[in-house]
Amino acid sequence: MSKVPIGRSEAVSESLTTTLSDVSESQPLVQSLVNRVTTNDVANLILHWGALPVMADAPGEAGEMTHGAGALLFHTSPMEDSRIEAMYETAAVAEEIGVPIVLDPIGAGATPTRENVLSELLSEISFTAIKGNYGEITALAGEAAEVKGVESIGEYERIADTAQSLAAETGAVVVASGVDDIVADAASAYQISAGHEMLGEVVGTGCMLGASVASFCGGVSDPLEASVYAALAFGLAGEDAAALPYNGPASYKQNLLDSAWQIAEQHDTDRSIDDRISRIA
């Protein structure tokens, strides 16, 4: 496995610093049609990275708000007709004016309804990035996956190949979250070695990773580069959160939000992380 930065000549640590600066300086508005369970966490994390959150999800206003957006973030939950209508409305505006669209296919593979809606979304909308857990990405790629509710279970030894296959099929950068995150386009795949096991004890950390990808895509022109450094930054925040005192998942989540804010504020200049990104394909 080769360890290389993505799209920049400097080292990974310097590239992350530059990426964080790009996001905070541009302050992209992230128009988010997201899961009600995690709306507040998603909004806070977008803000902590230096972007601006807005959750305008009613048909009519959703499209209007997109005219000023730097990125869109879609969750396929809840599966309401008005939410799906708003997705198509905002996507039409985004594609017209060149705003990146990030899809978080929550619960892909869990029910036929979600499978049908996602199939239609993928056939009609050009997504910039797709972020899901190993099971969701595998299900979207048309392969056998084990998903219970919104949780991925089972083993996914070929997840890098699966992510690349989905990227080639959709034209999107694919972020598959798990023990190690995989970020892939049709030509390459990268493994991100960052994070902590406590991330799996908090509902909504996958949504927060998707929010990170959308925020970075709003501030960085290259979606592969944006997605790689979003996954890295979020994983580092997960590690920093575990290094602070916590009593359980609730206090760990608070640490996670604080840690993301501190990484963005400090632009991560105080650590060596040049071994955290590995090109694996």
3-state secondary structure the chain: CECCCCCCCCCHHHHHHHHHHHHHHHCCEEEEECCHHHHHHHHHHHHHCCCEEECCCCCCHHHHHHCCCCEEEEECCCCCHHHHHHHHHHHHHHHHHCCCEEEECCCCCCCHHHHHHHHHHHHHCCCCEEEEEHHHHHHHCCCCCEEECCEEECCCCCHHHHHHHHHHHHCCEEEEECCCEEEECCCCEEEECCCCHHHHHCCCHHHHHHHHHHHHHHHCCCHHHHHHHHHHHHHHHHHHHHHCCCCCHHHHHHHHHHHHHHHHHHCCCCCCCCCCEEECC
Q: What is the pTM of this model?
A: 0.94
Q: Is 3.40.1190.20 the CATH classification of the domain at 12-279?
A: yes
Ligand-binding site membership of 253 (annotated): no
Write down the pLDDT at residue 78.
Answer: 77
Write down the pLDDT at residue 9.
Answer: 64
Write down the pLDDT at residue 194.
Answer: 96
Write down the pLDDT at residue 271.
Answer: 79
The structural domains of the chain, with segments of one domain joined by +, span 12-279
207 is written with which tokens?
A: 């949504």
Write down the pLDDT at residue 256.
Answer: 98
Ligand-binding site membership of 55 (annotated): yes
Ligand-binding site membership of 177 (annotated): yes
Ligand-binding site membership of 148 (annotated): no
- Mean pLDDT per 10-residue interval, the chain, length 281 residues: 62 90 97 94 98 96 96 89 94 97 90 89 97 91 62 66 95 95 96 96 96 98 97 97 98 98 84 89 88
Write down the pLDDT at residue 144.
Answer: 59
